[in-house]
Amino acid sequence: MRIDRFVLSAALTVVLLSFAAVFSARADDFYDPPAAEIAGKPGSIIRAEEFAPPSGASAAYRVLYRSTAGSGRPIAVSGVVIVPAGKVPQGGRKIVSWAHATSGIARGCARTLYPNLYVNMYGLQDLLAQGVIVAATDYPGLGAPGVHPYLIGADQGHAVLDMARAARALPEARAGSDVAVAGYSQGGHAVLHAGLLARSYAPDLNLVAIAASAPPTDLQALIRETGDDPIGRVFATYAIASWSRLYKIPLDGVVEKRVRRVVNNIAGSCNMETGQALRLMFAEQAFEREGFLLEDVMNAPPWKGLMAKNSPGPTPAGIPVFLAQGLSDSIVRPDVTQGYADRLCARGVRVRLVPIKGGHREAGALSAKPMAAWLLDRFRGKPAPSDCGTAAAQVSARDGRPPVKPRPQVKTAKPPIPADRRFDVVDAESDEENDG
């Protein structure tokens, strides 16, 4: 047994020491704008070039566009605009601004640096087939210079909205003003913040819908659940490392000193390819042996405040929301997403809930078709269905009395989801998680 532990420890050391030598994508000159070109109208394009399109598209363009950091500072962000084939409708093409799942926090983790960037762009083919532009941001600090603000709501929300603006600014796209935002995992978190910011930050966009699959809505709960989940520990490492760099917060008192080097190495590695994911999983084994976060991180300033500030609140009542959730998700827990859905309902938001039999990884792929169909219906102007209950049904379920007809003059928000529509029961079978 001692020999086995020694071998594992030695192998782990080799991996950690060789992280810097592992192949990773490198940002080229396209991603490096002169400082004088960064300031400008948010969503305007600094540069664009033709890019390899996916099947079903007439063209694709890699773009470097202007956005705004949460601090208000102008920044450059990269992304891709995918243009469908077919006739341009009157008023221009509709746009879905897509926000991707976690790829890492290092600059080389930009999705546009990898040939497989279209693989996890869920719903892409269905949207292109119906003439919808899909515009996907890389997020700040991935590709373009800067620290990636992982799970920081304002920075990511701005980037998602400005990605849609960049599509409108690209003449070849011939885009209109009708926009929906959609994302998975980290992207779900980003689009919920985009929905919160749209009216004040991007009033020129007509935001018609928000779609989020497995979105982190309670960051404190997300970090708290990392202890027993390897993938969760990697994502928590990304968050802690990103916030430490972004806000210049020392890691003393937050991460066990014995694994500080592991944290730094994981923060420098991407999660875009199978080999990268396997190396991350091997590296994080040190956390199981040596420990990871100190117990008081959930309540320690400024970490607690950052978690609260960047957990999205209910989006505006006039914009419908689609939520998909894996029933055996051990990273984004079903009960957390259910609680967020209940808060949306209480505010009067029309919410569509789609339970997915599987874990975090399955939530994105298996929700793709229902999400795309729901988005297309919103673009067509169809009334959004809602899984929120009625006041009468809630009264009956609560105390068994006959439903009381509400007074016509009293306007009330819809209460939480009825019991037969909820997905807050975790499936006993836990699927393997390796994406997000």
Range 37-41 contact pairs with CB under 8 angstroms and sequence separation of 24 or more: 37/76, 38/66, 38/74, 38/75, 38/76, 39/66, 39/74, 40/66, 40/74, 41/66
pLDDT value at position 413?
A: 55
Report the distance separating Cα 233 and Cα 239, nearest Å. 10
Closest to 163 in 3D by CA, of 142, 179, 143: 179
Residues 78 and 149 in one domain: yes
Residue 46 CB partners (closer than 8 Å, separation 6+): 33, 37, 38, 40, 64, 65, 66, 76
Closest to 78 in 3D by CA, of 21, 18, 38, 115: 38
Whether residue 39 contacts residue 74, with contact meaning beta carbons closer than 8 Å, is answered with yes
Label the pairing between strands 45-51 and 57-68: antiparallel
Q: Which domain holds residue 228?
A: 2-24+220-307
364 lies in some domain: yes
Residues 258 and 329 in one domain: no
pLDDT in tens, 382-436: 999 999 985 433 322 333 434 434 333 334 456 788 877 787 544 433 333 344 5
pLDDT in tens, 119-170: 999 999 999 999 999 999 999 999 999 999 999 999 999 999 999 999 999 9
Whether residue 170 contacts residue 61, with contact meaning beta carbons closer than 8 Å, is answered with yes
How many other β-carbons are positioned within 10 Å of the β-carbon of residue 56? 15
Closest to 350 in 3D by CA, of 391, 317, 372: 317
Whether residue 326 contacts residue 214, with contact meaning beta carbons closer than 8 Å, is answered with yes
Domain end (from 339, 360, 379): 379
User: The pTM is what?
Assistant: 0.87
Hey, which residues does 81 pair with through a beta bridge?
Answer: 61, 135
| Residue positions counted in the chain | 436
Q: What is the three-class DSSP state of 178?
A: strand
Q: In one letter, which amino acid is 182?
A: A
| H/E run at residue 391 | helix 391-399
Site of tokens 């009293």: 410
34 lies in some domain: no
Whether residue 66 contacts residue 162, with contact meaning beta carbons closer than 8 Å, is answered with yes
154 lies in some domain: yes
429 lies in some domain: no
Average confidence (pLDDT) over 262-274: 90
Whether residue 421 contacts residue 394, with contact meaning beta carbons closer than 8 Å, is answered with no
Please return the burial class of 59, using the count of CB atoms within 10 Å of its CB with bins 0-12, 13-18 and 19+.
middle
394 lies in some domain: no
Residues 141 and 165 in one domain: yes
399 lies in some domain: no
Report the distance separating Cα 1 and Cα 325, nearest Å. 41
Average confidence (pLDDT) over 230-258: 90
How many other β-carbons are positioned within 10 Å of the β-carbon of residue 412? 11
- C-alpha dihedral over 150, 154, 155, 160, to 10 degrees? 100
Residues 282 and 200 in one domain: no
Residues 324 and 291 in one domain: no
Domain count of the fold of the chain: 2
29 lies in some domain: no
Report the distance separating Cα 332 and Cα 109, nearest Å. 22
Whether residue 175 contacts residue 167, with contact meaning beta carbons closer than 8 Å, is answered with yes
Domain end (from 327, 355, 379): 379
Residues 187 and 303 in one domain: no
pLDDT in tens, 192-213: 999 999 999 999 999 999 999 9
pLDDT value at position 226?
A: 67
Residues 276 and 297 in one domain: yes
Residues 147 and 234 in one domain: no
Residues 127 and 19 in one domain: no
To 10 degrees, what angle do helices 2-17 and 274-283 make?
130
Closest to 66 in 3D by CA, of 107, 35, 97: 35
Whether residue 141 contacts residue 233, with contact meaning beta carbons closer than 8 Å, is answered with no
Q: Domain of 140: which CATH number?
A: 3.40.50.1820
Residues 253 and 371 in one domain: no
18 lies in some domain: yes
Whole-angstrom CA distances from 384 to 102, 208, 218, 366 are 29, 10, 26, 21
Report the distance separating Cα 197 and Cα 157, nearest Å. 7
Residues 348 and 303 in one domain: no
Residue 7 phi, psi dihedral angles, 5° rounding: -60, -45
pLDDT at residue 288 tops 90: no
Domain end (from 281, 307, 333): 307
pLDDT in tens, 352-390: 999 999 999 999 999 999 999 999 999 999 999 999 985
Residues 178 and 252 in one domain: no
Closest to 421 in 3D by CA, of 361, 338, 311: 338
